[in-house]
A and B are shown apart, each in its own frame.
Chain A
Amino acid sequence: MAIVDPIINGLNSGWLHTDGSQLKENQQFEADVVIVGTGAGGGVAAEILSQAGLSVIMIEAGQLRSSTDFNMEERVAYPNLYQQAAAMKTSDKAIGIFQGRSVGGSTTINWTTSIRTPTEALAFWEQQKSVKGLSRETLDPWFEQMEQRLNIHEWKFEPNRNNAALKQGCINLGWDYTVIKRNVAGCWNTGYCGMGCPVNAKQSMLVTTIPSALDKGAQLFSRVKVVKIEHHNGKVLALKAQALDSNSKPTSVELMFKAKHYIMSGGAIHTPVLMMRSDVPDPHKLLGKRTFLHPVLLSGAIFSDAINGHSGAPQSIYSDEFVWKNGVAGELGYKLEVPPIHPVLMASKLLGHGKEHAEAMANFNQFQLTIALVRDGYHPDSQGGQVRLTDKGFELDYPLTETFWRAARRSFASMAELQFAAGAMKVMPVSDGMPYFTSWKDAKEGIEQMTLAPLKTVVASAHVMGGCPFGEDEKLSMVDSYGQSHYLENLSVMDGSIFPTSLGANPQLSIYGITARNATALAQKLTDGREPQ
């Protein structure tokens, strides 16, 4: 059965798409709104603004790829669809970061988990970070709208064995667990969401809002990198961009984009980087500061029967048993989930080399992996990281504090207890020097004594947030609660960079819902001059 490719069909129908690598000469373009980035924020904003009758240009540094290109192999997906070929790391190399880099951004390659912004996070933002008007009551209609738009529903099928182990452990221990809502329609349950959906079941921006905006006449530029925001006297005048070649290297072609309004949706690293590089007003030196990850710890387990962690919906169960257990601003909490297990992902995260590594890989199909996503940004000793400009681009400095390591140790214990409760034969906290434990009692003692340290303990993350926070107090925020810049009258930010802390939940639905609210308000303002109430 042939799979319909909506991108190829759309291009054949006359969508306005320009591949920067094909451009030969400098050019200038104009629209009502120019959006930088096509991920969760950029995609939603593009659809809403183009539906309001505004002319929209979307600019994306990554390539335009589609289901025809998604061959379910990591060697193709990582260089084509991920920032730095999925090898991005913090400046000390202690944390590996997965971020998307193609049309659709991270929504093209995420694992579909869709969770509304936790009430605790919204309350903290209102009380501590001067964010106004974003309670669950006010946001829920926006979440409902986006859940309908993107087919976000509870996963009604049996979880795969990897997720089932998480569920069974929670049941046996009496811990909280939740069936995940996923943004899929007609999912084939193959387990390859992280490499781009080959059957267009995942309702990413690539197959939903971006085609919708293009159908309305929006224009898409791929392989074009915005390098500078030209601004003067509190107003953005233009965006300066470079065309990229097929290897993502800049060509000599320079482009200029002009608009009534400009939206930054490049994500929590590239939005602050672009704003810093452009010297936008930042009197309180907030840009790039308080950048948050959900730093992730990993616990591997061997089961007697097949887990086949590569097969089936990658995430369908989570546990919030420990996320808010110590109070919002108390000891750091962590969410328990599982990731898909594919060869490169597993081989690069498993420790050691030679026979030790080969023997671990030989258990590939019996390997169950549980992850703990640590909630950063609420405790006084959890200030996150900082994005800095460098001669060659940027770096993310993300010190891992004692407070974090205390949470890491607790999370290793929780994960081991859970895995044994689910029937694991042996469990190994993924930190160099740790053995496989064969009982929860031994694991508990071993984890209490284990040495935790950067480069020794594997830490990864797929969620980057903050660095350009929203709120009403200019000492705490760069943009207001609608994403409108405090300093540049025609600039808004609509992506995960506006979050003043991490979320304690996978971020895609938070970005969809809050962007839908803010982009709708912007559309009203641009079409009839009404300011948001």
Chain B
Amino acid sequence: MNRRTFLLGTFATTAAIALGVNLYSPEFSSTDEQTEGKDYRLLFSVLLPVLLDGALPEVASHKLAAQNRTLDAINQSIAALSESQQDELFQLLDMLENRLGLLVLTSSMTPLLMRSPSELTQMLENWRYSYFSLMQTAYLGLRELVMASFYACPEHWSRIHYAKPVLFK
């Protein structure tokens, strides 16, 4: 087992515990070599359908492809952040993968994967309108990362009727 496999396995297991599953879902397997050591793909795969509800395609296979594309883009976005921004983001994501962290952030230890879309929506809305800046910051950080990553992909521009000009043939 090389180092990357070990680390991915470790983080996948950590994520799986927090998210309430036993196996790393192969349909969300990462192909990005840049994020060695840190992989929150499963965590984001739970949040994406809620944050991007209405923006993702309705056809199941297209929806899955758009989610996978966004997960890759999120990895690339994270890699472009400064070290201190990455540290802050990883702290938040670690808390979401940890039952005690979940309790602090959501007042519940129920793993995210076991929560319904409406419960996840409620969680995000609670952060959004929280009196605590920590919660608001967590909401804004995740929201901006996901939205920016989704709309950065040219594959997702058709819905908003946007295309960059073709300058040269």
Contacts and interface: CB of A to CB of B under 8 A. Distances in A.
Chain A bound to chain B: yes
Interface of A: 1-3, 72-75, 78-79, 84-85, 87-88, 92-93, 188, 190, 192, 198-199, 310-311, 342-344, 346-348, 350, 352-359, 361-362, 364-365, 390, 392-393, 432-433, 454-456
B165 to A, nearest CB: 5
25 contacts: A1-B168, A2-B168, A74-B152, A75-B73, A75-B76, A84-B85, A87-B82, A87-B144, A88-B82, A190-B165, A190-B167, A344-B152, A347-B151, A350-B147, A352-B128, A354-B51, A354-B121, A355-B54, A358-B52, A361-B55, A361-B159, A390-B84, A393-B82, A393-B84, A433-B129
A3 B169 CA distance: 12
Contacts, number: 115
The 3 closest A-B pairs by CB, nearest first: A358-B54, A79-B80, A355-B54
A35 to B, nearest CB: 24
Given A84-B81, A190-B165, A192-B164, A353 B150 contact: no
Contacts of A310: 162
Given A310-B162, A354-B53, A93 B81 contact: no
A432 B164 contact: no
Q: Which of B54, B152, B161, B164 has the most CB of A within 10 A?
A: B164
B82 A84 contact: yes
Contact of A353 (B50, B136, B154, B159): B50
B148 interface: yes
B160 A365 contact: yes
Contacts of A311: 165
Contacts of B71: none
Interface of B: 50-55, 73, 76-77, 80-85, 87, 121, 124, 128-129, 133, 136-137, 140-141, 143-144, 146-148, 150-154, 157, 159-162, 164-165, 167-168
A88 B162 CA distance: 26
A1 B128 CA distance: 50
Given A75-B152, A79-B80, A87-B81, A198 B140 contact: no
Contact of A92 (B124, B133, B148, B160): B133
A358 B148 contact: no
Contact of A354 (B50, B73, B129, B160): B50
A85 B160 contact: no
A455 B133 contact: yes
Contact of B54 (A2, A342, A359): A359
Given A353-B143, A354-B52, A362 B167 contact: no
B55 A357 contact: yes
A433 B136 CA distance: 13
A92 B150 CA distance: 25
A348 B160 contact: no
Given A353-B53, A358-B55, 7 more contacts: A3-B168, A87-B81, A310-B162, A344-B148, A353-B52, A358-B53, A433-B129
Nearest to B166: A72
A93 B77 CA distance: 18
Contact of A343 (B53, B141, B157, B168): B157
A357 B147 contact: yes
Contact of A72 (B146, B148, B161, B164): B164
B164 A73 contact: yes
Contact of B167 (A199, A343, A356): A199
Contacts of A359: 54
